[in-house]
Amino acid sequence: MHQQFAGLRNALGRLAQLMPAAMCVLALGLPTGALAQAAKAGAPKAPPANPQAAAQELEALIKAARAEGEVLFYSSPTENVATRVRDAFMKKYGVKAQFLRLTGAGLLQRYASEAEAGTFAADVITTAGDSVGYAEEGIRKGWIEPVSAARLPVLISGEFPAQFMTGPTAIIQISPWGIAYNTEKVRREDVPKDWPDILHPRFNGQINLTNPRSSDAHIDYWTIILDKYGEAFFAGLRAQNGRQFNGGVPSTNALAAGEGSIQVPATPGQIQAVKDKGAPVGWVAIDYSTGVEIHVALTHRGKARRPAAGRLLAHFMLTEEGNKIINSDPGSVSVYDTKALSAGYQSPKPGAASRREQFLKLLGFS
């Protein structure tokens, strides 16, 4: 099912067409991690701020959402992130919220299967990878409503940073890739400080690796590694006899249990989720990296079971209050405060997902 969207990724490679807008983003000092989406051709300009209209829209939206009574969202970030959002949203608005946590590829496949069947269980989805291309296809099919056209109060008021609005979606989280380690198995002085450090003999047989099939965001990461270090890096990594896992969660759980010394790559949210439960794990940021950029998309209000509650939840995720809750894990970056992004942070490259088979071979996954 996910393959039907592969053609859209090629369209995202029209980098030459995006350069004028991209240069504007750079000139404003905006984070390069959002560059590929914020500079996308045809991305809408922010409408004039209208706080009074926003307040009226919000009042009506809360009333309608409470009448619907609940909302369901599909979420690819770690469970602790979705739990925080659910709890804060219910406390603030008095609307019951539930979520289903799925990996990026699994989430998109499930949503597409349900949409094809006309069920539309989820009112909102939050996911990474080729989220814009997926949403554009969903818009053409009548499944998805562009976030920019949903009359969210946070957009009407002008509160949400316009550079993170792609049109079909909005970026709500930047979670840089780094290196995770088991604090009981790796001495402080031996913690890797850069990607080549994981090739040290001390980590032979001790590197947890996630199958790139589990999420296109992993392919984004391996793409920048190949660009900088070449295939020799991957030959060295294969020689390390890494431990292979089918998903980021199993890989992180194994690391927490002492099965492996390090995990590559890992996001801060992944590690914080098990650290909060007492696991002996740590996470280190690497200057040259890319990240998982999470987007929010809306089921079309004509198809959603709870359209008002879905729009209210999306509004909350886009507010500064909600966005800080989403990004409260150490190392996670809010779109309202991007100073924490490293100088070497790279935007995920459009079209990287088309290289999945290449990286399966380079990493030694069958």
Q: Do 70 and 98 form a contact (C-beta atoms < 8 A)?
A: yes
The whole-number pLDDT of residue 329 equals 86
Residue bearing the bigger pLDDT, 202 or 27: 202
- How big, in percent rounded to 5, are the helix, strand and coil portions of the chain? 50, 15, 35
pLDDT-derived band at 49 (thresholds 50, 70, 90) equals: confident
Does the domain spanning 177-290+350-363 belong to CATH 3.40.190.10? Answer: yes
Which two tokens mark 181?
Answer: 């380690």
User: Dihedral sign, CA of 102, 106, 108, 113?
Assistant: negative
The whole-number pLDDT of residue 273 equals 87
Backbone angles phi, psi at 207, to 5 degrees: -105, 120
pLDDT-derived band at 45 (thresholds 50, 70, 90) equals: low
The whole-number pLDDT of residue 18 equals 32
Can you give the pTM of this predicted structure?
A: 0.79
Structural domain spans, the chain: 2-174+291-326, 177-290+350-363
Spatial distance between the Cα atoms of 183 and 282, rounded to a whole number of angstroms: 6
Burial category of 69 from C-beta neighbours within 10 Å (exposed 0-12, middle 13-18, buried 19 and up) = exposed
Each residue's pLDDT tens digit, 264-286: 999 988 899 899 999 999 999 99
State which H helix or E strand residue 250 sits in: helix 248-256
Each residue's pLDDT tens digit, 149-167: 999 999 999 999 999 999 9
Mean pLDDT of the chain: 87
Does the domain spanning 2-174+291-326 belong to CATH 3.60.20.10? Answer: no
Residue appearing with tokens 């996954």: 365
CA angle 135, 226, 245 (to 5 degrees): 70
Q: If we measure between CA atoms, which residue out of 306, 277, 295 comes closest to residue 120?
A: 306
